[in-house]
Every structure is written in C-alpha cells, then in structure tokens.
Amino acid sequence: MKLTRRNFLAWAGLSAVGAVACDVFEDELRVQSPVSLPEDLVKGKENWYATLCRTCPSSEGVVVRVVEGRAKKIQGNPNYPTNMGAQSARCDLGLQQLYHPDRLTGPVRLNGPKGSGRFDKITWDRALEALKKELQDRDGAVAMITPPLRGHAALISDNFVKAFGGKRIEFDSLDLNTYKQAIENVFGKKIQPYYDISNAKYVLSFGSDFLSTWISPTQWEVAYGQFRDSKHSDRGTLTHVDSRFSVTASNADRWIPIKPGQEGKLALSIAYVLIEEKLTPSKVDIDDLTDGKGLSALASYHPDNLAAELGIPEHITGSNSVSELIRTVAREFASQGPAIAIGGGSAGASTNGLFNLEAIYLLNHLVGSVGIKGGVILNPDSPIKELSAGSSSHTITDVENLIKDIKSSKIKMLIINGTNPVYGLPNWTGLKEALENEDVYLVSFDYLMNETNNLSNLILPDRNFMEEWGDDIPEPASGYQVIGIQQPIVNPLSDLDPRSSSDVMLSVAQDLGKDSDLPWKTLQEAMKSMSDQLFDLNRGSVPGSTKQEFWNNLLKQGGWWDEGATESSSVDVSNIVSNIVAKDKGAAVQSTGEFYLVPFEHNSLLDGRNGDIPWAQATPDPVTSIAWQTWVEINEKKANDMGIQEGDVLKVQSENFEIKGIAFLSPAQPPEVISIPLGQGRTIGSSYATNRLDGESANVLDMLENHKVNETGSLAWAATKVNVINTNTSLRIAKFEGDFESREIGFTEGEKLIKTTSPNGNNH
C-alpha cells in the first residue's frame, strides 16, 4: 500500500485506538450501565437502602450503604421492630457473601459420575430446558429441601413442589420443632411468643444461648441492654441454667451448671417451691393448673429429693446446698417480677427435651407472667392470609423418611434450595449415599459449591439477598404484626449471572402449565400484590394515599408493622401440670462414656451456614477467642489430671463415631462435660471453609448417636456421651488471646482492667 497522507492518518488513528485498548484493563471497560441505577453512580454519593439480612435465620432489618452501585456496609435498620438498629456479628457477613470470590458464575451441569466434581458451564436457556424436562419426566416423584423459610419464599417453594406432586422439607441441623411443640402445649399457640426481657426484672433461662445464637439473638440483646439499665438503680437479674459455659452463662449474674437433660426436673422443683411457699400471685389458680391436686401433683420434685440427681455443684452464689439454691431462685423468681422463664438449646435436645421445655415454660404461668408487660407476650397471626406467621418445621425424622423414599425410588428428583443437608446431617442418616445414586436427579439452587450440590446433576446459581426481592414475618415478632421487606439494592456484578430461585420456579411452573397456585410472574409481582393487600388494611406504620406511594414507602421503611395489632387470646391451662409431669420418664441421656457431649452453635458460623465467609471464620469465639478451628472445650483441672494441654489434638469417641479437635482448657467448663462448636469440618467449599490440617477442623454432627427427642422426633443432639483420648500430637491454636493465662494481674486498684461495683453502687 502506498503511503499517502490519507492512509497515514488512518493508520495513525488505528494504532492510537490499539494503544488505548491495550492500556485499559478489560474490567474497567465493563462499566455498569448508568441507565439502570442512575442515582447510584453519582461519584462519591452514598445511598442507604432498607432490606432484610439473611445471614442468620432471624432475618434482621438492615440498611445497606451503596456507593456507585456497590454495597459497602450493612447496618441495623433503626425502624425495624425486632433488632431496632442493632446488629449481630453476622450482619456484615452479607457483603462477603455478595462479593465472594468463589461465587458460581452461571448454571452448570454434571458431566461425569455424581460427586466427580466435573461440571460444564451451560446457558440459562439450556439449564431451564433440562430442569423442565426432568420435572415432566419425574412428575409426582419430586421433593424439595430448603432451610426454614417464611413469607413468599416459603409459599412459592411449597406451591411449586406441590404442583409436581411432592412436598417440601425444611431442614435445620438443630431444628426448633421440640421448642415449638412445647410452646404450643404450654401457651396454646404454635407461633413463637415474644419475651419482653427489656421490661422484665428477672430472667430465668435454661440452656438457651439467647445472647449469642438462640433464635433471635439481636432482638434479645437489644432487650438485654435495656434490662441491664445504665443507671443500675433498676437493674434486672439474670439466672442462667446451662450444662456448658455459654456466652449467656458468662453474662449471667448467676450461672447454675446442671447435668444435660435435668433442666425440666429443676424447673418443676422451682414450681414445687412456688406452690409450697405460696409464692404465686393470687390471680394464678393453682387448682386449675393442677386439676385440684395442688402440691401433691409435684410431690416427687421436692428440692431435697432432687439435689443429688441434678448434678448441680454445691455453694453456687453463696448457697449452702442445692435445695437451698432452688428455694432461693424460686423466691427471687416470684418476688422480683415481672419475671420470665425461657428455655431452649441444649435443654430441649436431650431425649426428654419436650418435657424439659414444657416444665420450664410452665413457670411463667405460675408467676402470672403470660401476656403481661415484662413477661411472655403471645404473637398474633399474620395480617396476610396466605402467609403464615409460624413457620412449619420438620425434624430429622422427616428427613429420614424422605431418604427412605429416595432409596425406594418413590422420590426420583430432589431440589435443594439454599441449604447443605449432606454436611448438616449426621452421617448415619445416609443422605449422601442416597443422593449418590445415579437414578436420582438432583437440582441445587445455591451460590457456592458445597458437599450437597457437589452431588447435583444441575446447579442453578441463586441471587444474593442484596440482589433479590423477598419478605419475612419475623419469628418471633415483637408482640405485634410485622412484615419485613427485602429488595434488590445492587445488581449482580457483570461477570456473574445468578437468577432468583423464586423467579425460576415461577417461570418454570408457568411454562409447564402448573401455575394454578402461583399466579405471579415474578417474586416482585407477588410482593406488590401483598403490598396492595396491606394498603387495603388501612392501618400500620406505612403512610401512603395511593398504592404506589404505599409501595414506595414500604420499601423505604423496610417493612410494615402495626403496634396495635396484638394477640388477645387467653391460654387454657387446666391440668397442664399433670400433662407435663406425665412426660417425665426415661433417662435423658442414653449412651455411655466419661463425658457428656454438649455441641453448640458457633457465634459467627452458626451451624456452618456461614463457613465460607472469611469474616465469619476470622471472628473469635467470645469465650475462647478461637477462630478458624474446631476446639474441644474441656475443664482445665480435669485436663491437667488427664495430662492434656492446650493445643493437644484430642480424639473424641462416641459409641460408634469419632472426630478430632484441638483441646481448649477452660476454667469454667463443668468437669463432666466437653463441648464442641458446630460449623467446621467442611470437605467441599471455598478455601475459607476447607483447607485445614488434620485435627483442626471437624463436624461435630458426624459423631452424634442416633437419639431422638421423645414425641417430637427431633435430633437429640445433647444426648451423646463420649470418651476423650489424647492423640499425643499437638497443633498451634488460632486464638486471639495471648499465650499466658488470661487472668487479671493487677495488684493495685489502678492496675485492674475490669472493675466491678455492687448494684447499690459500692465498689468491690
């Protein structure tokens, strides 16, 4: 080509373009369209959007700071009735979930034998085609496993799987079925009640670690802050009964250690004292409660008779004997009202868990605390007819039945929606083997790889909660009707192609003509129609003269609530005492071993659901300050006697199973108990969850024996006894505290770091 002036300029122009294209990173050219989120792209300008947090089951109301289309910070929504602007250590984890480096980028299909981990990327069109084909081929033999869901997510999942002749199982490692059953039996309603701790003066709790992980901890912590009262002239007292030294035990004014499974007997013994010493208020009809039997209904729970059985040490908070302690607590509970008794966690997880919890909640009736300020406040039904205020709950027995159906080919297609049951169930349930069967078609909605979806035929990447619509009826609500709203506040990043699982189900149902109970095209449409229903109620917290204005304000507030919509039903308590006493039979813990094993939910990983998130792994446990590892909490003196030092790798053996963990010597652990947190021991997942040395990460669920709670069929996870063997190897322990013994060393008042005072202001 001849070089003319025109040619030269053309070439020069082209090479300049080339230079620019080479200099600029590809990522920087992928600017999100300002058309879709114009206000978010104003440089340096922040917006706060209200939504719901989904990193723990309590789904707190949050506001999220968005700058230039990216979520930057999650904080409590100050208006939201449950958490009232506060947050837990788990709220901010949502950011790392949203921007997790290992998020699935698009749908994948198995290309090889199940469990081989060989997946091919496919387009959404092909993925949905495959899903539809399998649903049609296996119609009538479909089932779904989800975590406990509420609101429209539950409704859509239920109706979807029903349309294909199947049923949805709500899976939760430590399910709340026993607790809910006890609530229904004692308060007459299955919807979880609200415990008005903020206005209470005395809280007597049994086994429930309500300041760390139990049900709705942020809600309880907000109330606990008010219960403690800065001016401390009117400070409430917390007595906590627990078989291990939990976060709640460490904050209690008095911790009463007890043998696992004896909580119900202690509660009835307190009830005995309340009746014997006539401490119950006059409005409480003891004859009605005991069917006219009075004290004789509880004759076998005289404190003197039980003292040896309960496993409570002598001299707790200055008492001379266990029976004196029981009497002291009963007197405090009756005289320092309003008083609440709450129970859950390990107290409901021995084989007699239902008896324990019913006996505990009975105490509220005896001091007239039900339905009063500072007591147990029942929650009302949902304002929206089709959305239930009390989530259904299934137990491990239901999952076992499902596994049987899979093995007998009654179920040929399983949809797993956002949960990891292969990890979260003890191995003896056999779910993994059932899913490894090539005849079972497994579809997973998820955002990361895990033990369950690794066995899938098809994985559909789900949206993060900050990219998706949703709603929630918090359980428990704050004593009145509440509906929380979740809205997409950012778009998925350009290299990710997730779709809302609810939207996928709706569109598939419509395409296959199975949408008779799913009248919406998208989840957003379902929520809009709910908003219209709320508008028509013409009450509640959301202003708006038109439906559109109401919808906008609903999103802005992050939910709808009506403080006037409370529950007014009364509870029929006749003969309740005999019904509870009749349940007290059989041993609480059936296996043999030197130690009681009391597992517990990890403060940030919970039951393992947050295991892939770096902040969750790196947040020290409040009591031990350990991160990233599985530890075995053992009494310091007992360990010294056994020749165990901190960092030793211990083999913990139940009758049939064993796991390994690192010894943590605790001066507070009861000598006959060891406790191990849930949450570690992942085998497939992101590098944050896996990638551990032998002995520093284990799944405590794998060593639980097959014991169920009587009458409810829940897993009795605190009913296994174990032996502990030192493997004589040791590992460095990843804990935040120093290596020296962390006890106060100050000799003078000025050197003391933590100073104390008595309630009347006298310094100690």
Q: Which of the residues 604 through 633 are near other proteins (CB under 8 A)?
A: 604, 614-615, 617-620, 622-623, 625, 627-629
* Cβ proximity of 80 and 483 under 8 Å: no
Distance from the first to the final alpha carbon of the chain: 96
Q: Which of 56, 91, 396, 581 binds other proteins (CB under 8 A)?
A: 91
Q: In this chain, which of 37, 47, 73, 547 binds other proteins, going by CB under 8 A? A: 73
List the one residue from 4, 230, 546, 728 that touches other proteins (CB under 8 A): 230
428 lies in the site for other proteins, by CB under 8 A: no
Is 764 a binder of other proteins (CB under 8 A)?
A: yes
Distance of closest approach, residue 403 Cβ to other proteins, in angstroms = 35
Q: Taking the complex as a whole, how short is the minimal distance between the CB of residue 33 and other proteins, in angstroms? A: 17
Residue 440 is a binding residue for other proteins (CB under 8 A): no
Q: Please tell me the count of residues contacting other proteins according to CB under 8 A.
A: 106
> Where in 95-124 is the site for other proteins (CB under 8 A)?
95-96, 98-101, 103
Restricting to residues 486-525, name those near other proteins by CB under 8 A. 493
Q: How far is the CB of 448 from other proteins (least distance, A)?
A: 12
63 binds other proteins (CB under 8 A): yes
Q: Compute the distance between CA of residue 108 and CA of residue 621 in angstroms, rounded to an integer.
A: 36
What's the min distance (Å) between Cβ of 381 and other proteins? 28
In whole angstroms, how close is the CB of 45 to other proteins at the nearest point? 11
Q: What is the 3-state secondary structure (H, E, C) of 76-117?
A: ECCCCCCCCCCCCCCCCHHHHHHCCCCCCCCCEEECCCCCCC
Indicate if the alpha-carbon torsion angle 555, 559, 563, 568 is positive or negative: positive
The answer to whether 211 touches 343, Cβ cutoff 8 Å, is no
CB atoms within 10 A of CB 316: 18
Q: CB of residue 313 vs other proteins: minimum separation in angstroms?
A: 4
CB 639 → other proteins: shortest distance, Å? 12
Choose which of 255, 441, 447, 560 interacts with other proteins (CB under 8 A): 255
In what side-by-side order are the strands of the sheet with 119-121? 119-121, 108-110, 458-461, 441-446, 413-417, 142-146, 167-170
Lookup: tokens for 411: 């179920």
The answer to the question of residue 222 lying near other proteins (CB under 8 A) is yes
Give the three-state DSSP class for 422.
helix
Q: Residue 318 or residue 564: which is nearer to other proteins going by CB? A: 318
Cα–Cα distance measured from residue 178 to residue 79, given in angstroms and rounded to the nearest whole number: 32
Residues 6+ apart with CB under 8 A from 748: none
Q: By CB under 8 A, name the one of 93, 141, 387, 509 that touches other proteins.
A: 93
Q: Is 232 in the site for other proteins (CB under 8 A)?
A: yes
Which residue, 179 or 210, is less far from other proteins as judged by CB? 210
Please name every residue paired with 482 in a beta bridge, in sequence order, or none if there are none.
561
Residue 65 binds other proteins (CB under 8 A): yes
Per CB under 8 A, the list member of 52, 53, 71, 203 interacting with other proteins is: 71
Give the nearer residue to other proteins in terms of CB position, either 99 or 124. 99
- Region near other proteins per CB under 8 A, out of 65-73, 508-516, 548-556, 565-573: 65-73
Q: How far is the CB of 635 from other proteins (least distance, A)?
A: 6
**Measuring CA to CA, how many Å separate 630 from each of 125, 248, 522, 691?**
42, 20, 42, 13
Shortest approach of other proteins to residue 90 CB, angstroms? 8
Q: How far is the CB of 605 from other proteins (least distance, A)?
A: 12
CB of 175 to other proteins, least distance (A): 24
Q: Which is nearer to other proteins, 235 or 293 (CB)?
A: 235
According to CB under 8 A, which residues from 444 to 483 bind other proteins?
Answer: none
Q: Quick one: 509 or 662, whose CB is closer to other proteins?
A: 662
Q: Is the Cβ of residue 627 or residue 642 nearer to other proteins in the bound state?
A: 627
Nearest in space to 96 (alpha carbons), one of 71, 67, 63, 121: 71
- Residues 155, 247, 414, 554: which binds other proteins (CB under 8 A)? 247
Segment contacting other proteins by CB under 8 A, of 7-15, 133-141, 231-239, 584-592: 231-239
**DSSP state string for 312-336:** PPS-GGG-SSHHHHHHHHHHHHHHS
| Residue 254 sits in the site that holds other proteins (CB under 8 A) | yes
Q: Is 564 in the site for other proteins (CB under 8 A)?
A: no
629 vs 712, beta carbon nearer other proteins? 629
Beta-bridge partners for 715: 708
202-206 and 194-195 beta bridge pairing:
unpaired
Give the sign of the dihedral formed by CA 50, CA 51, CA 53, CA 58. positive
Kindly state whether residue 331 participates in binding other proteins, applying the rule CB under 8 A.
Answer: no
The total of other beta-carbon atoms located within 10 Å of residue 304's CB is 12
Q: How far are the Cα atoms of 296, 447, 451, 502 from residue 107, in angstroms, in the given order?
A: 65, 10, 17, 16
CB 548 within 8 A of CB 41: no
Work out the burial of residue 23: count CB atoms within 10 Å of its CB; fewer than 13 is exposed, 13-18 middle, 19 or more buried: exposed
Q: In whole angstroms, what is the distance from residue 600 CA to residue 14 CA?
A: 65
CA distance 741 to 666: 11
**Ranges within 526-545 binding other proteins (CB under 8 A):** none
75 binds other proteins (CB under 8 A): yes
Residues 352-391 that bind other proteins (CB under 8 A): none
What is the identity of the amino acid at 690?
T
Instruction: Give me 152's structure tokens.
Output: 């429209």
Binding mask 31-60 for other proteins (x = CB under 8 A): -------------x---x------------
What does the alpha-carbon distance between residue 758 and residue 762 come to, in Å, rounded to a whole number?
A: 5
Distance CA 219, CA 231 (A): 21
Q: Please report, as residue ranges, which positions from 704 to 743 form the binding site for other proteins (by CB under 8 A).
A: 732, 734-739, 741-743
* Nearest distance, CB of residue 96 and other proteins, angstroms: 6
Q: Which of 93-101, 380-388, 583-591, 648-656 is the region at the interface with other proteins (rule: CB under 8 A)?
A: 93-101
Residues 288-327 close enough to bind other proteins by CB under 8 A: 313, 315-318
User: Which phi-psi region, left, alpha or beta, contains residue 586 (left: φ > 0; alpha: ψ -120 to 50)?
Assistant: left
Tokens of 356: 């324990």
Only one of the segments 148-156, 212-220, 284-292, 498-506 lies at the binding site for other proteins (rule: CB under 8 A); that segment is 212-220
Residues 638-697 that bind other proteins (CB under 8 A): 667-671
